[in-house]
Amino acid sequence: METEYDFSQGKRGAIDPTLPDKTRIAIWLDDEVLAWFREQVHLADGGNYQTLINEALRQHIQQSSEPLEQTLRRVVREELQRIEK
């Protein structure tokens, strides 16, 4: 170990660069929720559980904002497919 270090070329800020259209946050998730997403990534032989959480949230937003008629049509189609199997 050196007795003195030169930090004159050092830069402040995050070590990881910020990705475009992404915001780093701290979030508290239930252990079971996080375990489920990690298990899904494991079963898929890899990936990123954070990306999977992001996709799930996007899907929820998209479905929550679809018009009622569109939601009903989607549900009826899904139920008919389930019955036909």
Task: Give the model confidence (pLDDT) of 25-40 as tens digits.
Answer: 899 999 999 999 999 9
Does residue 71 register a pLDDT over 90?
Answer: no
Does residue 5 register a pLDDT over 80?
Answer: yes
Q: What does DSSP assign to residue 75?
A: H
Residue (of 54, 53, 48) closest to 22 by Cα position: 54
> What's the predicted TM-score (pTM) here?
0.59
Tokens found for residue 21: 């259209």
